[in-house]
A and B are shown apart, each in its own frame.
Chain A
Amino acid sequence: MTDLHSFRATTRAWLEENCPETMRQPMSEADVCWGGRKWVFQSEDQRLWLDRMATRGWTVPEWPQAYGGGGLSGDEAGILKEEMSRINARPPLQSFGIWMLGPALLEFGTEEQKRHYLPKIARGEIRWCQGYSEPGAGSDLAGLQTKGVDCGSHFEVTGQKIWTSYADQADWIFCLVRTEPDAPKHKGISFLLFDMTSAGVSTQPIQLISGASPFCETFFDQVEVPADQIVGARGNGWTIAKYLLTHEREMIGSSDAALFGSEDVVEVAKDAIGLNALSQLDDPLLRAKIADFLVDEAAFDAELARAQDWMRAGNQLGVQSATLKYTGTELNKRRQELIMEVSGLDALEWDFAQAASDEKASLWLRSKANSIEGGTSEVMLSILSKAVLELG
């Protein structure tokens, strides 16, 4: 206990000294530091903050020090998190490498792979993207068809991925390919890592109904992937993919508001519609809709807080992440619908080609994807009905 006490004191002092003032300001999506070869730091402070944190291994506080991590215990990492939020310190680095590939490598990678890949993730030197979904394999991910032909010294990868977020910015990809075309669909998948500059890789951004997006289509035409860049055994990729998806779902409880939204319907309504002589929103039916929303919003907030407490206590969310995902994303769709409704004609003024991502119409349209990406609402309900309710 005293050890934790002194850890808190030294951490607090170190953060005070080393976190630049501009890195203690509220951040928007545009201020995220993603790292990677192509990364252009938005400020000297952003570079300095990443460098200082990475040197201590605190971009990935709980990873072993041998792989670039901080080697902190869960309790210590919790304290670091608390102390960072105490001064509103921004995360020095965010990446799919930290959230997804890292944990998978720690679990399934060889010692060489861990030593080779993890420190580069921790320092933000290599930015990763995820090659999972395909045009013909969305909810039914295990039906993926991108081919990986084992040629001995290398795999030859041919096929197409879709919804690869930031593929155009990423340096490397972790990618699911079918190496055993004749095996049952879950048994024939392998987990490969390769450089996005490899010959035969091309990407193309996807324009969403909400405007520009980080999503891309990614094409592989006979891409040569060295044989030692497979994680786990050939045909064992689905196990890794599932582990990683579980990890992604665990992230849901701690993820920031992106998927669940945080805009305050009440404030928008006051602003847009105004109050009548009774100091009530001058639109009784809309007011009633907002009231109903507020009840569900507050209940979801309690559920999210409960999940976060549960995780802070060192537990896994497990299948409860499906409850959060389903409830939070469906709620956000309602939130954005309501915001459009209370904003009326004003919110219709929107330029598809020029729209910023935080404009009302952009958020409204983008929110429709919340209940599709990362597992559709229908998939979440199926998970719950089978795993919890034992139906079907």
Chain B
Amino acid sequence: MVRDMAAGFLEKNAPVSALRNLRDRADSQGYDTSVYTDMAGMGWTGMMSSEDVGGLDLGAGVAGLVAEEMGRRLSAAPFLSSAVMAATMARACNAVEISAKIASGNAVVAVAFDEVSKHRPDKVSTKAEVSGNGFVLSGSKRFVSDAVGADAVLVTAMTDQGLGVFLVDPKLRGVVTNQVSTVDSRNAASMDFNQVVLGGDTLIAQGSEAESALALTLRVGRSVAASEMVGLSKEVAERTNAYLRDRKQFGVALAQFQALQHRAADLYTQIQTTEAITSAALAAFDANHEDAERLSRVAKAKANKTASLAVREAVQMHGGIGMTDAIDIGLFMKKARACIEYLGDDSCHAEWLLQDRGL
């Protein structure tokens, strides 16, 4: 039911053509605020938040359904960044006030964790030094999703007592949000923190608490991102299959050629297994299962591989028309590339799997 509702809403309000429009008018925010407000009205922004703060506490499984439908339509909204990841992080840090704002949709909150070109959230050079009752934050973050126009940013930084999570107001002196124009035409920024003076209450978790809040945030992010990629992969595969049925060459539909049938069927099986591992990862997250970390990493890695295959096959099987900006296939390819890199590529997670197995 959630899926149907999400599909209906997104089809009307955030289809692929909406992303195309945002891109063509070089919208700096990269999403339509009114769409996000409507999402909030339907409770989507509170899916991951507890009922105490006005959330619905529906869990990652439900968020995954929404994300999958968003992936099908390349729907632009700070759902993954704010409603899923920031909400999870704020909740894990017991930051009640901001949790409530995220849940109601009154605040869009970004999470800033990457500092180098590859996803390495454990490499934190950003520092928060104690100063009076507060801190001075310095450093920079890259590819902060939906940071442009965000009401607040959750920033990881090293403190004298290990990792810290800070709730930072981007309007503070010394915070520079540099919008980055990205291949997927979505909202992203690199952020510089130049001796930003923070109050003591901006530190919402520290030490092992911060570590586990970050781990939980990345875990849910990976699993829900994998759902988004499952949706993207399904859609692009279905569009390709429709094209194969439609397009005639040598007097017959392309769908008659076994060489193409088998490639399409192979892709279908890849999408099936990706969907299975993604569902397993989401369920494990919600159950706080001991295997949840591994499953989220496998899900993301597999979703990366499958989405990559799906968009490459889509362009090739569409032939020349697939290379044109006139049809949407290229937009899927671009979004897939960004999804793959965000929250870790397949090598990143496969490496974790190996180390987990002692190899």
- On A, residues with C-beta under 8 Å from B are 266, 269-270, 275, 279-281, 287-288, 290-292, 294-296, 298-300, 302-303, 305-306, 320, 323, 326-327, 378, 380-382, 384-386, 388-392
Contact = CB atoms under 8 A, between A and B. Distances in A.
Contacts of B359: 266, 269-270, 275, 280-281, 287, 290
A296 B243 CA distance: 28
3 smallest CB-CB distances across A and B, nearest first, come from: A291-B350, A385-B261, A391-B255
28 contacts: A280-B354, A280-B355, A288-B350, A291-B350, A291-B351, A294-B353, A294-B357, A295-B301, A295-B346, A296-B305, A298-B302, A299-B274, A299-B277, A303-B276, A323-B273, A326-B266, A378-B262, A381-B265, A381-B266, A382-B262, A384-B268, A385-B262, A388-B265, A390-B241, A390-B255, A391-B241, A391-B261, A391-B264
B182 interface: no
Given A270-B358, A291-B351, A389 B264 contact: yes
A220 B357 CA distance: 54
Given A280-B359, A392-B255, A300 B273 contact: yes
Given A281-B359, A320-B272, A391-B260, A295 B353 contact: yes
Given A295-B301, A295-B350, A302 B276 contact: yes
B128 interface: no
Query: How many B residues are at the interface, by size bracket?
Result: 35 or more
B298 interface: yes
Given A303-B272, A306-B276, 15 more contacts: A266-B358, A280-B354, A291-B347, A291-B354, A292-B346, A295-B349, A298-B353, A299-B299, A302-B277, A323-B272, A381-B261, A384-B269, A385-B261, A391-B261, A391-B265
A295 B298 contact: yes
B6 to A, nearest CB: 22
Interface string B283-295: 0000000000011
Q: Which of A291, A326, A380, A390 gathers most chain B CB within 10 Å?
A: A291
A392 B295 CA distance: 36
Contacts of B181: none
Contacts of A384: 265, 268-269
Main secondary structure of the interface of B (DSSP, over half): helix
B256 interface: yes
Contacts of B249: none
A168 to B, nearest CB: 36
Contacts of A300: 273
A84 B305 CA distance: 39
A43 to B, nearest CB: 37
Given A303-B277, A327-B269, A294 B302 contact: no
Contacts of B355: 280
A36 B266 CA distance: 41
Q: Which of A269, A305, A391 gathers most chain B CB within 10 Å?
A: A391
A236 B355 CA distance: 57
Contacts of A391: 241, 244-245, 255, 260-261, 264-265
B206 interface: no
A109 B358 CA distance: 55
Main secondary structure of the interface of A (DSSP, over half): helix
A134 to B, nearest CB: 24
A290 B347 CA distance: 11
B22 interface: no
Contacts of B133: none
Contacts of A269: 359
A279 B358 contact: yes
A30 to B, nearest CB: 30
B261 A392 contact: yes
B265 A389 contact: yes
B277 A292 contact: no
Given A295-B346, A389-B268, A382 B258 contact: yes
B267 to A, nearest CB: 9
Interface in B55-88: none
Contacts of B261: 381-382, 385-386, 389, 391-392
Contact of A323 (B268, B279, B351): B268
Nearest to B306: A299
Nearest to A382: B261
Interface string B318-359: 000000000000000000000000000011011101110111
B196 interface: no
A391 B295 CA distance: 33
Q: Which of A299, A378, A382, A385 gathers most chain B CB within 10 Å?
A: A299
Contacts of B180: none
A296 B347 CA distance: 13
Contacts of B358: 266, 270, 275, 279
B280 interface: yes
Contacts of B295: 298, 302
